[in-house]
Every structure is written in C-alpha cells, then in structure tokens.
Amino acid sequence: MAQPPKKPLGPSTTAVHGGETRPKLGNSLVTPIVQTATYTFTNTQELRDHFDGKIERVEYGRYGNPTQRVAEEKLAALEGAEDCLLFASGMAAMTTTLFAMLSRGTHVVVTDDSYRRTRQFLNQTLHKYGIEVSTVPCGDYEALEDAIKPTTRALVSESPTNPYNRVLDLERFGEIGRRNRVKTIIDATFATPYNVRPLDYGIDVVMHSATKYLGGHNDLLAGAVLGSRVIIDAVRGMQGITGAVVDPFAAFLLVRGLKTFALRVQRQNTNAQAIAEFLASHPRISAVHYPGLATHREHAVAKRQMRGFGGVVSFEVTGDIDTAARVVDACEIPYLAVSLGGVESLIEQPAIMSFYELTTEERMQVGIKDNLIRYSVGIEDPEDLIADLAQALDRAFG
C-alpha cells in the first residue's frame, strides 16, 4: 500500500536536521570541516566515471566541498528549493548569478531602494559590459511591466527592501515575470526563509547574504542562490570560472548558525515589532518603516505573505543629520556597525555609513534621508532594548 505523503517538517526541525547526513564521517554528530583543496581518485577508471557523470563525488575545492554541500542542502530544505549554491559573500552570489543569466545586449529591470552594491553592479559594472538596466519604483507594477522589452532577461528586487522595508507582492511580481517570459530574482536577505519563501509564490531565484540572519552571529561572510536545478547548475558553472567560493570553515559556521536560525528569527521578529511600536508612539520620531505596523503602506501584503516582519526597523527622528547621530551615539546596547541580522543589535545612520561619500542632494535622489536610522534588532530582551532607546532619545533631545 502506498504511504500517505508525509507532512512537511517545520522550520526549526528543518533548520536542525535538514541536509545532515547520517551517519557522518568518523561517527561525528556535527558536520566535520573538510579542510582540503583537492580530492583524490583511486584510479583512472574512477576519474572517467566522474567525468562521465556515472558517480557523484567531489573533485576540486572550487567546484564544491562536503561541508559546503551540507549547508547548501539545509538551506534548500528551508527555502523549499530544488538546489542551492553557496558563495564567498552575498555580493559574490548576486554578481555571479547575474553574469550567468545575462549577456551583452540583454536588459534587466530592478526596483529602487535596494542594496547599494547591487545597484552599483547593475548600473556601473554590467553597463560597461553592454547590459542595459532600468530602475523602477518599488511597488509600481505598471512601471515594472512597461519597462520590460524583448531583450529583458531578469526582474530583480529585494523584499523587504533595504533600508525602507518596502514589501513586494511576490505573487504579482512572479506572474509579471512568467507572462513576459522573464526570470524573477528576489534578494530575500531581510526576510529569511522563516518569514517568507519566495519560491512558493512563483519566484524563480532567491538570493541571500548568508552573512546576515542565516549565519546569524556576525562572524562569517557567505552568500546563497536558490532555485531550480537547471538554473543553479548554470550558476555553478559560472562559479567554477569566477571562483567566488565559500571556504569550508565559513560553511561549517553557517551550518552551526543555521541550527538556531528559526529560534533567532522568531525572537528578532517579536523584538523588532515591540521596538517599532515603541518608536511609533514616541514624540521625537517622525516616521517608522516596519511592515508589522498597520501604518506601513504594504502591511496588508506583508501580513498575507509573511510569517513575521523581520528584524530591521528603520526610523526617522525629528531633526537633522546631527540629531540622528546623537541618538545613535547615545544608545548603549546596540553596536555602531554596518551589517544586520546577527544576535547582537546593531545601529547605524545610512547617511553617515553606506552613503557617506554622497552629498545630501545625491542622497535624496536615491531616497536616503539624513535623519534616517537603521536598527538591526538582535536577540536581547526587548524591554532592555526599549529602555535603552528611550534613554538615548531623552539624552539626544535633552
């Protein structure tokens, strides 16, 4: 008799057990770090079988490593993807994927409010190689569709976006891609597969900076690309050439970090919601950008498609660039640092961090306000984080 289909495992069970082989080398409970550059073959026949695709095994470090493979299979299980490929960083994942999908004379549409280096890669680097890029406002689906041409190969967006936490209607984005035979790519670093799985909504490719929530401890750099076997194989071929591979130790740290991933993100979701609500009711705060607030312009979409609203809260203080800097400096628990997603809370002012070399006018053009603060909420106790923010606002405006 056929077995009834098994109920899919939950995110925490998948985070702990997904992708893990049993038993492991040396009966180790934990996935070992296979610290080797190359792999040996018993004889020429084994080499032939490998190249003929008759056996599956590793060959050389640039084409994969067993520790890396466990991390990839764990992530694929979490994201509901056929396959996953890891990289040395999130940007390595983004750039290699786009190099694999595009060629001279093709065209990409990207939504605005996205990671600065992604924008630069599209508008400066790819432009140099004869690839055209159009930027459309996030949330304007007519503009998105109008921007598509016969040469368009990819639609690229983040969701939620950095730093304003705009949320894309993934179903609609995916549908526009399919109807126009264009691949859709979502950088879901801010969401993580705990909060949303874009592939479930018909998106073709999901990207992550695994440096952020997936690693989760501010101690590694890695990137991931997930999607169908066909797409990931093409990207893997390009990675074999460009060489931006994750090293075995970073892959080990990622496997370790991923085991607590669902727990951490759950806590970061509730912490961020509490902080967003506190800030929204504070007289010195003029705007809070968090999808979990009913005032957020995509709150309805976010509620429909996300399990939680993420751990980043962006907000604007009443006052100028210096007032915001005083608030940042008066906080005692979060570190002043770039990046996000780790167990430690981090705080930064985009105008004096990622966008420092621009003038105020140039920053306004890309939508970065001087009084904007981005708070990446960690796993500390919410009442401590709120008390700290309250004293910081009191001191800054004192």
Please, are residues 253 and 220 in contact by the beta-carbon 8 Å criterion?
yes
Residue 32 or 367 with smaller CB distance to ligand PLP: 367
Under the criterion CB under 6 A, does residue 211 sit at the interface with ligand PLP? yes
Distance in angstroms (rounded) separating the CA atoms of residues 33 and 250: 9
Rounded least distance, CB 149 to ligand PLP, Å: 26
Choose the binding region for ligand PLP from 122-130, 132-140, 207-215, 248-256 (rule: CB under 6 A).
207-215
Judged by CB under 6 A, the number of residues near ligand PLP is: 14
Distance in angstroms (rounded) separating the CA atoms of residues 372 and 375: 10
Positive or negative torsion for Cα 211, 217, 220, 222: negative
Which residue, chain included where needed, has tokens 């008799």?
Answer: 1
Active-site annotation holds for 187: yes
* Residues with Cβ within 8 Å of residue 68, at least 6 apart in sequence: 86, 245, 246, 248, 251
Under the criterion CB under 6 A, does residue 308 sit at the interface with ligand PLP? no
Distance in angstroms (rounded) separating the CA atoms of residues 220 and 250: 6
Catalytic residue among 39, 49, 62, 172: 62
The closest residue (CB) to ligand PLP is 90
Q: What angle do CA 348, 208, 273 make, to 5 degrees?
A: 50
Residue 211 or 271 with smaller CB distance to ligand PLP: 211
DSSP-based three-state secondary structure for 34: coil
Single-letter residue type at 313: V
Rounded least distance, CB 334 to ligand PLP, Å: 17
Q: What angle do CA 243, 247, 251 make, to 5 degrees?
A: 125
Catalytic residue among 115, 194, 290, 375: 115
Which residue, chain included where needed, has tokens 């101690």?
Answer: 219
Rounded least distance, CB 64 to ligand PLP, Å: 20
Catalytic residue among 187, 204, 247, 388: 187
Rounded least distance, CB 223 to ligand PLP, Å: 5
Residue 248 or 341 with smaller CB distance to ligand PLP: 341
Q: Partners of 111 in the beta sheet? A: 136
Q: What are the C-alpha distances in Å from 204 to residues 89, 142, 183?
A: 21, 20, 6
Under the criterion CB under 6 A, does residue 223 sit at the interface with ligand PLP? yes
Q: What are the C-alpha distances in Å from 154 to residues 131, 242, 295, 354?
A: 11, 21, 32, 26
Q: How far is CA 70 from the centre of its chain?
A: 19
Rounded least distance, CB 221 to ligand PLP, Å: 5
Single-letter residue type at 181: R
Choose the binding region for ligand PLP from 4-12, 72-80, 182-190, 361-369 (rule: CB under 6 A).
182-190
Catalytic residue among 69, 74, 183, 212: 212
Under the criterion CB under 6 A, does residue 374 sit at the interface with ligand PLP? no
DSSP-based three-state secondary structure for 183: strand
Q: Other CB atoms closer than 10 Å to residue 351's CB: what's the count?
A: 21
Under the criterion CB under 6 A, does residue 91 sit at the interface with ligand PLP? yes
Active-site annotation holds for 62: yes
Q: Which of 11, 19, 61, 90 binds ligand PLP (CB under 6 A)?
A: 90
Please, are residues 208 and 224 in contact by the beta-carbon 8 Å criterion?
yes
Choose the binding region for ligand PLP from 44-52, 168-176, 206-214, 292-300 (rule: CB under 6 A).
206-214
Rg (CA), the chain: 22
Please, are residues 89 and 222 in contact by the beta-carbon 8 Å criterion?
yes
Show the binding pattern over residues 226-255: x = contacts ligand PLP (CB under 6 A), - = does not.
Answer: ------------------------------
Q: Which of 67, 162, 239, 349 binds ligand PLP (CB under 6 A)?
A: 162
Residue 191 or 393 with smaller CB distance to ligand PLP: 191
Under the criterion CB under 6 A, does residue 187 sit at the interface with ligand PLP? yes
Q: Partners of 187 in the beta sheet? A: 158, 207
Rounded least distance, CB 27 to ligand PLP, Å: 34
Rounded least distance, CB 304 to ligand PLP, Å: 22
Known catalytic residues are 62, 115, 187, 212
| Contact residues: ligand PLP, CB under 6 A | 89-91, 115, 158, 162, 187, 189-190, 209, 211-212, 221, 223
